[in-house]
């Protein structure tokens, strides 16, 4: 069978195989990393890097994939250059997604960046300085570590999270990575507010858009080189609650999650949270990139030919902390656990149905009602008949947004917010 390179998942699989054979073996000198010690921040960051590197068995070094961290099958479902968290791996965990199981979404592959030479460059017509592009302003890693830091607990979720259910529940053919619900995670991010850095760089009242750009390789899709991963962000959102993060769950960012510095754009489509940040264009006129024109809009019947407006907030969703086809004993009381989240704010209510959606009963909240993260909940269930069954969870957020039974089709399979039918087996 011919590879369908117009399918994102197939394409990425093929590319990753090509890259692997081209690379042959990537040598990462751990000793060299450990020798470095330039100040507390840098030292800690390098230790984090060395630890991640140490997690790769020497035998696997020649076959090193696009993702650096280990991807044990009990924690992840691999999808080409991406890896999805298995929801059952959140069972018994605390509020945050541990970094070892946080999903990874790489357009190409995780780059290795030296924080000693890394710089963040800001430039453009929205900064003070000579028109039209303004003088570039540069920040080193140490500059950022020395600025006032803040902590933010927020989810990052891929826009296509749940995409496979367009096909399995609605019979639609969509292109892209066929995620279930594991392309989401909540972490505690620490860093400097983007607003602070923009102000230091000389932001003017003329600025309308900022465009963060990653240092990973150019993204090539269907033979077209789109250049580095970058997506415009309205200056209003940039100033509101966006963080330039250098820590994830109290450790330096690991390579796969954007080391040394990434953006965290709370509540928005995951693509907004640019990893391996290298520069930010600050513009007095609206900006465009393939990531807000060709991708991350809704296309298809019912949408304009150029697509919907660029996507911003994620929709409300729910997941059970259970494997697919989880087994339960009939006649026994079980406690089901799950989590619900929304890009529009706090989750207000969660209901569960164990009879295919005929009746719904409230789930019990059991965690912080965080606005930019998720609500953990539980539900008691005593199954009374054996056989294959379906569990359903439906959340409502503080804006009144509720998970519908179905969602309208879009060709790229974004924003699947309908109730997911989770298959289980009662024995
Ligand atoms: N530079 C860069 N930033 C990126 C990406 C990328 O491939 N390159 N992927 C984006 C997408 S589509 C998502 S969903 C999130 C995933 O973040 P994670 O890999 O830390 O989970 O990063 C975003 N930032
Ligand atoms: Mo994504």
How does pLDDT run across 78-105, given as a tens digit for each residue? 999 999 999 999 999 999 999 999 999 9
Per-residue pLDDT at 181: 99
More confident site: 48 or 265: 265
Instruction: Please tell me the distance between residue 156's alpha carbon and the centre of ligand 2 in angstroms.
Output: 9
Mean pLDDT in residue range 119-130: 91
Per-residue pLDDT at 129: 79
Closest CA to 182 of 106, 101, 85, 99: 85
How is the beta sheet containing 104-105 ordered, strand by strand?
Answer: 76-79, 82-85, 104-105
Mean pLDDT in residue range 399-404: 98
Q: How many CB atoms lie within 10 A of CB 5?
A: 15
Q: How many CB atoms lie within 10 A of CB 324?
A: 13
Per-residue pLDDT at 7: 36
Any atom of ligand 1 within 6 Å of the Cβ of 276:
yes
State which ligand 1 atom lies nearest to the alpha carbon of 219: 7
Instruction: Please tell me the distance between residue 154's alpha carbon and the centre of ligand 1 in angstroms.
Output: 15
> What number of residues does the chain have?
427
CA 423 from centre of chain: 25
User: Which of 76, 82, 101, 107, when mutated, tests ligand 1's pocket best, judged by the most ligand atoms within 8 Å of its CB?
Assistant: 107
Per-residue pLDDT at 203: 97
Mean pLDDT in residue range 5-15: 35
State which ligand 1 atom lies nearest to the alpha carbon of 263: 24
Taking 50 as the threshold, does the pLDDT of residue 403 lie above it?
Answer: yes
Instruction: Please tell me the distance between residue 104's alpha carbon and the centre of ligand 1 in angstroms.
Output: 7
Angle (CA) 273-113-225 rounded to 5° is 65
Per-residue pLDDT at 367: 85
pTM: 0.87
Any atom of ligand 1 within 6 Å of the Cβ of 107:
yes
Mean pLDDT in residue range 65-89: 97
CA 405 from centre of chain: 25
- Rounded mean pLDDT of the chain? 87
């Amino acid at each position: 069978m011919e590879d369908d390179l117009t399918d994102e998942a197939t394409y990425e699989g093929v590319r990753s195989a090509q890259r692997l054979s081209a690379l042959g073996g990537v040598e990462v000198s751990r000793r060299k990393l450990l020798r470095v010690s330039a100040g507390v921040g840098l030292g800690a960051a390098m230790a984090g890097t060395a630890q991640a590197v140490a997690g790769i068995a020497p035998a696997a070094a020649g076959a090193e994939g696009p993702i650096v961290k280990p991807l044990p099958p009990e924690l992840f479902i691999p999808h080409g250059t991406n890896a999805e968290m298995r929801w059952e791996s959140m069972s018994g965990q605390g509020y945050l997604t541990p970094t070892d199981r946080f999903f990874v979404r790489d357009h190409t592959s995780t780059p290795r960046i030296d924080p000693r030479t890394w710089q963040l460059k800001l430039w453009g017509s929205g900064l003070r300085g000579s028109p039209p592009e303004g003088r570039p302003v540069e920040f080193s890693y140490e500059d950022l570590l020395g600025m006032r830091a803040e902590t933010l607990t927020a989810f990052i979720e891929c826009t296509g999270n749940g995409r496979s259910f367009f096909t399995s529940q609605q019979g639609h053919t969509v292109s892209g990575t066929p995620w279930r619900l594991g392309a989401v995670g909540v972490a505690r991010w620490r860093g400097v507010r983007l607003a602070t850095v923009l102000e230091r760089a000389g932001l003017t009242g003329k600025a309308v858009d900022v465009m963060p750009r990653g240092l990973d390789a150019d993204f090539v899709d269907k033979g077209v080189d789109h250049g580095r991963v970058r997506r415009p962000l309205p200056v209003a959102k940039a100033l509101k609650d966006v963080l330039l993060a250098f820590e994830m769950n109290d450790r330096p960012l690991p390579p796969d999650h954007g080391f040394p510095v990434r953006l965290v754009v709370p509540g928005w489509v995951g693509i907004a949270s640019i990893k391996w940040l290298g520069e930010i264009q600050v513009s007095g006129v609206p900006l465009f990139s393939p990531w807000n024109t060709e991708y991350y809009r809704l296309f298809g019947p019912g949408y304009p030919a150029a697509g919907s407006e660029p996507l911003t907030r994620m929709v409300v969703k729910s997941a059970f902390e259970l494997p697919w086809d989880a087994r339960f004993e009939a006649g026994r009381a079980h406690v089901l656990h799950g989590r619900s989240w929304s890009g529009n704010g706090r989750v207000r209510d969660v209901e569960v149905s164990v009879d295919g959606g005929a009746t719904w009963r409230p789930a019990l909240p059991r965690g912080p009602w965080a606005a930019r993260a998720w609500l953990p909940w539980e539900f008691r269930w005593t199954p009374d008949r054996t056989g294959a069954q379906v569990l359903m969870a439906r959340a409502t957020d503080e804006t009144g947004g509720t998970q519908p039974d179905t969602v309208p089709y879009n060709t790229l399979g974004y924003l699947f917010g309908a109730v997911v039918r989770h298959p289980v087996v009662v024995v």
